[in-house]
Amino acid sequence: MRPSWDEYYMEMAEVAKKRSTCLRRQVGAVIVKNQRILASGYNGAPSSILHCEEAGCLREKLQVPSGERHELCRGLHAEQNTIIQAALHGVGIKDSTIYVTHMPCIICTKMMINAGIKQLIYKGDYPDSLSQEMLKEAGIIVKKYSKDESS
């Protein structure tokens, strides 16, 4: 059976997350426009920097709860890496859709708003109510992915 577009792109985000080097949560993201994949990414340390699986997790060491103190991390989030990859390669993502395996944090949400992303489809939850408030205020269409409801 042929997958729906939402199912197809979310599966791609799930594949991207397999490259994650985060010890706490693996996340993948794919940016799509007009049924074309523009960029993909996963969470992990910047290029040429030791990954957490090698250097250890600073957040675990400091016992930082999930959803707090994002600056205390070696890694970039999947959404950040995906937006950066598009920018690095000169790919415009205005009016695009981002598929993410987890609801974005507030930092990623602000980047998505300023990058002109118009729709977010996410799978797993994340403890960040401010993110949800700002997505709504910015007019970004937000859908929680459900295989049964995918288009």
Instruction: Domains for the chain: give ranges and CATH numbers.
Output: 5-144 (3.40.140.10)
pTM: 0.93
Determine the angle formed by the axes of helices 106-115 and 129-138, rounding to 10 degrees.
20
Check if 133 is active-site.
no
Find the catalytic residue in 54, 79, 137, 149. Answer: 79
Q: Is 108 annotated as a binding residue?
A: yes
What pLDDT is recorded for position 102?
A: 96
Question: CA 56 to CA 112: how far, in whole Å?
Answer: 29
Q: Do 91 and 39 meet the contact criterion of CB atoms below 8 Å apart?
A: yes
Q: Is 105 annotated as a binding residue?
A: yes
Q: Is 52 annotated as a binding residue?
A: no
For the segment 25-52, the average pLDDT, to the nearest whole number, is 95
Question: CA 116 to CA 56: how far, in whole Å?
Answer: 34
Q: Within its chain, how far is the Cα of 118 from the centroid?
A: 14
What pLDDT is recorded for position 151?
A: 60
* Burial status of residue 91 (CB atoms within 10 A of its CB: 0-12, 13-18, 19 or more): middle
